[in-house]
Amino acid sequence: GNGVPRLSVTSARSAALSRRSMRPKSLSVRCEQGSKGGPGLDVWLSRGAMLAFFGAVGVELTTGKGVLQNVGLMAPLPALALGLTGVVGVVTAFIIFQSGSSD
């Protein structure tokens, strides 16, 4: 009814049981991706995160040094690393909740 494609699956066993006066059991699967006309922000963010992760691993494998060592930081301050992790976590949670509330 709302433009979302649905898939109805009925097993052969349940079809055989229906002959014995039992209703066949069906499974309804709702397809979420593509129902809005294209990939949303969450899909693009996850793709970007995957590319960044594999890029960082590639840099570490080719240079033999960590990502922070390549940009000139030998050992970050623990408070700075904790603060940066917190900010990134809060921003990520905000973006995720905002993309979910628009549906």
Over residues 30-40, the pLDDT tens digits come to 655 555 556 77
33 vs 92, more confident:
92
From CA 42, how far away is CA 96, in angstroms rounded? 7
pLDDT at 15 over 60: no
Q: What is the mean pLDDT of the chain?
A: 75
> Over the stretch 59-71, which tens digit does the pLDDT of each residue have?
999 998 888 788 8
Query: What separation, in Å, do the N-terminal and C-terminal C-alpha atoms of the chain show?
Result: 17
* pLDDT at res. 62: 93
Amino acid at 79: A
* pLDDT at res. 31: 59
